[in-house]
Amino acid sequence: MSLSEERGLRCFIIYHRKQNTPPVLGRASVWELGLLRFSAGMSLMDTFAVIVTRRRVSLCFVTWNIAALMIMFLVSMIIHTGALVVDGEADDSHLEAHLKRLNKPAVKTMKTQHGDIFDCVPLYKQPAFDHPLLANHTIQMKPSFVPNMDDDANHIGSDPLISTKPQLEIESCPLGTVPIRRTQISDLRRVAKLQNYGKRDESDHERQEQAGVKLEHGGPYLGARGRINVWDIEVSDGEWSHSAIEMSDRKSDYIEAGWLVYPQLFGDSKTRLYTFWTDDGYQNTGCYNLLCPGFIQVNRNIPLGGVIQPTSSYNGKQYALNTDPKDMNWWLEIHGEPVGYWPKELFGGRFVGAMDLKWIGSILNTMSGHRMTTTMMGSGRFPEEGFRKAAFFHTVEVMDESGKYEQPTNHEFFQTNNKGCYEVDPVGEEIFFYFGGPGGRYAGCKSSIPFINSRSRRYIDQPSLITEAEYSAENVVVC
């Protein structure tokens, strides 16, 4: 009895095998179609069973017509989404295709002692110009004006502030190129969804703990600056901690810059220079650094995503975010040196002045319920410990319409959690403040640990992270 005459079910098998053929879906493989026969009397569950193995995807159908339609649908899925690529090699192929879009051809490549690879990419080949709104954009190499950046506040009391710029740890990129941290396949494997790589989840905004200064009245402001000291701190898995200047239009446009510790993004707990932006309130657009089209880098010496060294309580880095009154681009400057800018096209011409400003420490708390993470903010110490121990912001100023920086007068110190986790403490008449804390490492933080001696506030931590030389047994009691 021929197959066409047999009363039974037909099962189409789509499978692939390695061959030396032109790449299909980013790999050397070919998709083939076969036909199997099944006898009558199979159950409905068997009829529509989908069998997935490392080398095969099988789908069974009742009739030829349905089969034909479904095959067309499957082919469409394969072509447009690669949804049926199920084995590891195919997954790698998908990741490699994403890497190819992110990493641009380099004129020169350099590797740091921390394992980062920086590619020196021609200015007009950087990721920003993949953005459709920037196709005809002309690069602005520096702001059309120079704001008053005079700063003689180089001491806190009798203690000097030693300021340093983030360094590549290697030589500068050649003229006409900029350093871009190369994304590696291991970076992509750390994210749950590839399309979310380099982005910030909208829900993160509600799971943050913050402490610092905010300015929500007045404006619009054309710029903000502040000096931040930089620390090596500990961050829990899946979380981040940053100290930064944040600006927004009070609607959906946000930009920020400062230092960040984010193991899931960078693969380590190093302290790094970072930027972030979004024009739709973190829903779909924007990203960190240069991980999507947007920010335009012009500086060939200062790398976004680069490790900041040295880090200690003596090192204060001055960050400035300001807009160019002529071109309306938002600039990032470090020590008065332009790093790059967010072009006005990203925000549709809306973001011409900031309505909300923050100088803050911020952490992401992924703990459920009322529990508090042990991720550190600032230096991981409370503000009351002061200079050399606590993190601080200094020279907190806003830029007026004349391009002059001045201290704001309608600011507010704030913290989003109860005292005992992360705090802020203003010092003196100027806007200079300490901020931060250990989070759940401290016993008084939402009762994360059952007991602590009330005579002296001390940190509770793993034995390997705290010594008897620092805290005696009579000050700390762990039950």
CA–CA dist 66, 318 (Å, integer): 66
Residue 244 sits in the same domain as residue 322: yes
CA–CA dist 174, 193 (Å, integer): 35
Could you tell me if residue 116 is inside a domain? Answer: yes
3-state secondary structure of 415: strand
Query: What would the pLDDT profile of 396-414 be if each residue is shown by its tens digit?
Result: 999 887 788 899 988 999 9
Could you tell me if residue 78 is inside a domain? Answer: yes
Residue 426 sits in the same domain as residue 388: yes
* Residue 126 scores a pLDDT above 90: yes
Residue 62 sits in the same domain as residue 210: no
* Residue 50 scores a pLDDT above 50: no
Residue 75 sits in the same domain as residue 109: no
Give the type of residue at 63. Answer: T
What residue numbers bound the domain in which 403 lies?
A: 101-441
Residue 22 sits in the same domain as residue 71: yes
With bands split at pLDDT 50, 70 and 90, how would you rate the model's confidence at 22? very low
Do 378 and 231 form a contact (C-beta atoms < 8 A)? yes
Residue 27 sits in the same domain as residue 173: no
Average pLDDT over residues 101-110: 96
Residue 413 sits in the same domain as residue 272: yes
Among 5-19, 167-181, 318-332, where is mean pLDDT lowest? Answer: 5-19
The position carrying tokens 């879906």 is 25
Residue 191 sits in the same domain as residue 285: yes
Average pLDDT over residues 177-199: 93
Return the pLDDT at 204. 82
Could you tell me if residue 135 is inside a domain? Answer: yes
Could you tell me if residue 38 is inside a domain? Answer: yes
Do 354 and 220 form a contact (C-beta atoms < 8 A)? yes
* Residue 167 scores a pLDDT above 80: no
Among 90-99, 378-387, 460-469, where is mean pLDDT lowest? Answer: 460-469
Percent of the chain with pLDDT strictly greater than 90 = 46
Percent of the chain with pLDDT strictly greater than 70 = 65
Among 48-62, 119-133, 200-214, where is mean pLDDT lowest? Answer: 48-62
* Residue 62 scores a pLDDT above 90: no
The full DSSP string for 107-161 is SEEEE-TTS-EEEEEEGGGSGGGGSGGGTTPPP--S-SS--B------EETTEEP
More confident residue, 78 or 272: 272
Give the type of residue at 377. Answer: M
Could you tell me if residue 456 is inside a domain? Answer: no
Do 361 and 422 form a contact (C-beta atoms < 8 A)? yes
* Residue 268 scores a pLDDT above 70: yes
CA-to-CA separations, 218 to 146, 148, 410, 411, in angstroms, rounded: 23, 21, 8, 10
CA-to-CA separations, 255 to 1, 70, 209, 282, 365, in angstroms, rounded: 72, 46, 18, 11, 21
Query: What would the pLDDT profile of 273-315 be if each residue is shown by its tens digit?
Result: 999 999 999 889 999 999 999 999 999 999 999 998 877 544 4
3-state secondary structure of 71: helix
Listed residue (140, 38, 116) closest to 309, CA to CA: 116
Residue 61 sits in the same domain as residue 146: no
Neighbours of 417 (CB within 10 A): 20
Could you tell me if residue 91 is inside a domain? Answer: no
More confident residue, 211 or 86: 211
Could you tell me if residue 3 is inside a domain? Answer: no
CA–CA dist 422, 435 (Å, integer): 7
pLDDT averaged over every residue in the chain: 74
The position carrying tokens 């994403």 is 98
Query: What would the pLDDT profile of 138-149 be if each residue is shown by its tens digit?
Result: 999 998 876 665
Domain boundary among 22, 55, 84: 84
The position carrying tokens 């401290």 is 442
Residue 157 sits in the same domain as residue 36: no
Q: How many folded domains does the chain comprise?
A: 2
Could you tell me if residue 285 is inside a domain? Answer: yes
164 exposed, middle or buried (CB, 10 Å; 0-12, 13-18, 19+)?
middle
Residue 47 sits in the same domain as residue 148: no
More confident residue, 335 or 78: 335
CA–CA dist 58, 50 (Å, integer): 6
Residue 56 sits in the same domain as residue 190: no
Return the pLDDT at 237. 93
Average pLDDT over residues 41-53: 40
